[in-house]
Structure 1
Amino acid sequence: MFEHYRPTANIEFEKSLDKHFFFFLSLCTFWLLLEFFMHLLCDPA
């Protein structure tokens, strides 16, 4: 059942998963910072 299991493929999959997760995290952080600065710019106070 497990004769075709390759740990290296699993490691590569986890690397790509981490890359996508960090990309998503940086995108969310960038969006939150953008919202924050737009709020500061649009606020007359």
Structure 2
Amino acid sequence: MEASVCDNANSALEFIHQQNFDLLLTDQSISGRLGSDLARHIRN
């Protein structure tokens, strides 16, 4: 198992689009965006 860490929503989005993930854990108040908004953006 590997873990990756991003310090803000924008870098997380960039990283997620470069990799395939089975699980995403996010803080509800990740810097730059709400965690729920980040998850919604990834699903769409």
TM-score of the two chains, using structure 1 as the length reference:
0.27
Structure with more relative contact order (C-alpha pairs < 8 Å, separation 6 or more): 2
Q: Could you say which structure has the larger radius of gyration?
A: 1
Taking structure 2 as the reference length, the TM-score comes to: 0.27
Higher helix share: 1
